[in-house]
């Protein structure tokens, strides 16, 4: 059975705590709430971790957050052998904020990389310290130093990052908004979520359901750790935090 959880992070990615009520516990111990601040694994971004606090003060760890039958069916996964709450029980949610904020910064950095390298995306994975994007590029012609310099120009410009919604029809009329070569954003709801960068989306605009910081300056210092050849027309760019180490 699919449930619909109110995903509070879609309206405010900076929420660190919230109150919720348990609406179900599935046969594998997954906890479904009426509302949540926990992002579920999707689009190359891992799900959030954190805790659920019960009325008696005891904590239930959330080791992973995943989706069920739909994107709105958000399941909070506790570690094995851990107690789970009762249906109808109120709980207080708390994110592992440090981890989430790293993922927000890194996911935004990935968007910036697609601006610097405007080629079809064949794969991507976001993590707290080393993310990657695979591009369909016959001959890269890029260096780690040049791409890093261009990324840091966008970071230092401290441009706004924001979300706007468009219709399925608007997306169909603007196919260039989709940068992925193999994955199309879900349609049918009438609302496509675009993540935009720059005043009036002057730098970038693409469909994305992940979490991002509110300005490029918040990304902080990043660099390209490696550019790998993964096929005749596939190049993998790895993004890491901090300054580029000496060669």
Q: Which of 157, 149, 164, 167 is nearest to 223 (CA)?
A: 149
d(CA 234, CA 119): 10
DSSP per residue, 43-54:
TTBPPP-EEEE-
Q: What is the pLDDT of residue 233?
A: 79
Residue 184: its pLDDT value, please?
67
Judged against a pLDDT cut of 90, whether residue 168 lies above it is answered with: no
Q: For the whole prediction, is pTM greater than 0.85?
A: yes
| pLDDT at residue 82 is higher than 90 | no
Mean pLDDT for 12-38 is: 96
pLDDT bin (cut points 50, 70, 90) of residue 31 is very high
Q: How much is the pLDDT for 188?
A: 61
| Mean pLDDT to the nearest integer, 157-165 | 96
pLDDT band at 221 (very low <50, low <70, confident <90, very high): very high
What CA–CA distance (Å, rounded) separates 108 from 83? Answer: 36
Mean of per-residue pLDDT scores for the chain? 93
């Amino acid at each position: 059975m699919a449930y619909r959880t109110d995903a509070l992070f879609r309206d405010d990615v900076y929420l660190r705590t919230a109150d919720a009520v348990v609406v179900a516990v599935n046969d594998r111990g997954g906890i479904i709430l009426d509302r949540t601040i926990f992002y579920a694994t999707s689009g190359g971004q891992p799900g959030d971790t954190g805790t659920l606090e019960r009325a008696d003060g005891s904590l239930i760890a959330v080791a992973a957050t995943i989706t069920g039958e739909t994107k709105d069916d958000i399941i909070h996964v506790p570690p094995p052998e851990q107690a789970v709450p009762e249906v109808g029980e109120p709980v207080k949610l708390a994110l592992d904020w440090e981890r989430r904020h790293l993922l927000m910064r890194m996911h935004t950095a990935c968007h910036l990389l697609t601006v610097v390298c405007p080629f079809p995306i064949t794969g991507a994975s976001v993590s707290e310290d080393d993310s990657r994007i695979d591009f369909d590029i016959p001959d890269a012609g890029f260096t780690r130093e040049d791409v890093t310099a261009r990324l840091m120009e966008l970071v230092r410009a401290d441009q706004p990052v924001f979300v706007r919604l468009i219709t399925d029809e608007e997306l169909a009329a603007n196919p260039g908004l989709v940068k992925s070569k193999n994955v199309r954003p879900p349609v049918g709801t009438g609302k496509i979520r675009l993540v935009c960068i720059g005043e009036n989306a002057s730098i970038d605009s693409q469909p994305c359901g992940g979490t991002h910081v509110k300005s490029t300056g918040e990304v902080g210092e990043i660099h390209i750790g490696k550019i790998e050849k993964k096929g005749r027309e596939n190049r993998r760019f790895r993004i890491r935090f901090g300054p580029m180490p000496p060669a």
